[in-house]
Amino acid sequence: MRFRPCIDIHNGSVKQIVGGSLRDEGDAARENFVSVQDASFYAKLYQKKEIKGGHIILLNPASSSYYEETRRQAFLALSAYPGGLQVGGGITPENAAAFLEAGASHVIVTSYVFSDGQIRHDRLSELQKKVGKEHLVLDVSVRMKDGRYYIVTDRWQKYTEVELTEQILDELSDYCDEFLVHAVDVEGKAGGIEESVAELLGSWGKMPVTYAGGVHSFEDLDILKKLGQGRVDVTIGSALSLFGGNMDFEEVLAYMKEA
């Protein structure tokens, strides 16, 4: 289990939000933390600590009046830590190359590869050819509906008809290098992890996968390590001291060295 840091950017600022509260209309979100530092500050810190594989997420759609500033912040982070960070949020074959050329190790994609709630294999193939399997991360973030976890798109606002299962992970793994999974219903709430999601990811365990959502204590990390069988990496957002939380950043790094 490895620690994967994050830089979430919304309305041009590095933030931690309650994931399920994000709305394109009015660029609204319930905020847990708004940084006075720009995105490059966090990128430089992660580089100094030699933490690779973190993700930058642009939380505004391209139609937003804030998008250009959010994108600028992402590029600041990428230039500060070239090759050390991944980037996602509105990635398409048309703009993916710009992010990779700016220093992203991978682009993270969800919405583009789903249409009308289904997997678009033609779009997956197009992306793979455009950026290379080794530079593609699929974000298969989920929310619960009728007792099952379904992949959600469009900044977690739209349900697909695709349930997250080991079979789906097998199918999608042909196209990408890693998976990123936000458990959206607990994202930003610091109330504990979605244990069923963690257990599924650990049981599958065939390629790198990062879990995000609800981690708020070292006990949560113990649970994730057990359920994930040591195969599932973790992102900590609102609970991390860097973002105003109670989990000390240095203590988290020390824990990960022992994990």
Alpha-helical runs (H) found in the chain: 39-48, 67-80, 96-101, 121-131, 166-172, 195-204, 218-227, 249-258
* Contacts of residue 53, Cβ cutoff 8 Å, sequence gap at least 6: 2, 4, 84, 85, 86, 105, 178, 208, 210, 233
> What is the tens place of the pLDDT at every residue in 181-235?
999 888 766 679 999 999 999 999 999 999 999 999 999 999 999 999 999 999 9
Claim: this prediction has a pTM higher than 0.75: yes
> What is the tens place of the pLDDT at every residue in 115-134?
889 999 999 999 999 999 99
Query: Would the pLDDT of 114 be above 90?
Result: no
Query: Would the pLDDT of 33 be above 90?
Result: no
